[in-house]
Amino acid sequence: MTGPTEHATVLQAASLLLQYPDERWRARLPTVLDAVQVLPAGAPRNGLLSFIDHARHTPGAELEEHYVATFDRKRKCCLHLTWYTDGETRRRGLSLARLKALYRTHGFELQGGELPDFLPVVLEFAAQGDVTLGLQLVQEHRPAVELLRLALIDIDTPYSSVLTGLCALLPGVSPADEAAAIALARNGPPGESVGLTPYGAPGSPGADPLAGLGPTSLEFTGVRR
């Protein structure tokens, strides 16, 4: 059976894998692999393992160059979720403020200068806080996540496997093309309740094996609600 621990592992692993692959990132990759390997069989595990295998067999300099070329130089592959729905508008500022306030309400403070809509930050919050609430937040931003997934598939990058695994945690079927993803953004994500059932029946909460390996984008202040 799967439950909060397994879901938190998927979310935290995806958060870690979507960060810049510097030397520190590469040093913790074996720990991420160990945690992902013991996940139940399924699309989340398969997607994460596919990317980890690629990363383990690719020189560090090549990984770094590919990350920059993918996420920094391709507008369609932006890792900042509100960019997809709000663009460079005043509304985006309000969305960012709302996310920051949500983190603070649940005992987390942003650090390191990262924006609160940076996908690895959102996933870290989902993994380290209340997993059900975290999945609801990811589902709320699902149109952006799906557009990113499709963009990564379109350029044939191994990072698409991480997004495919992540989307498999969410209810409903992922859109097959950009037009369907845009319609999802217009009409809203599927109405099913978001919880632990898409990846298995709920189980007993346990310690996330990657909890101490976080990217330190968020600092827990001890005021979780």
DSSP string, 151-199: HHHHTT-THHHHHHHHHTTSSSPPPSSHHHHHHHHHH-S--SPPSSGGG
pLDDT tier at 202, thresholds 50, 70, 90: very low
Nearest-angstrom CA–CA distance, 56 and 129: 29
Q: Which of these, 50, 25, 18, 26, lies nearest to 37 by C-alpha position?
A: 50
pLDDT at 60: 97
Vertex 131, ends 30 and 86: CA angle to 5°? 95
Number of CB atoms found within 10 A of residue 23's CB: 8
Q: Which of these, 139, 129, 136, lies nearest to 208 by C-alpha position?
A: 129
* pLDDT at 203 > cutoff 90: no
Nearest-angstrom CA–CA distance, 140 and 202: 21
Tokens of 152: 């990564």
* pLDDT at 204 > cutoff 60: no
**pLDDT one-digit tens code per residue, 7-27:** 999 999 999 999 999 999 999
Nearest-angstrom CA–CA distance, 127 and 124: 5
Rounded to an integer, the average pLDDT of 203-218 is 54
**pLDDT one-digit tens code per residue, 66-90:** 999 999 988 889 999 998 887 776 7
pLDDT at 118: 95
Rounded to an integer, the average pLDDT of 47-65 is 98
Spell 80-110 as b/e; 16+ CB within 10 A means b.
bbbbbbbeeeeebeebbeebbebbeebbbeb
**pLDDT one-digit tens code per residue, 145-155:** 999 999 999 99
Q: How much is the mean pLDDT over the chain?
A: 83
pTM (two decimals): 0.84
List residues bridging with 109 in a β-sheet: 219
Domain ranges of the chain: 4-200
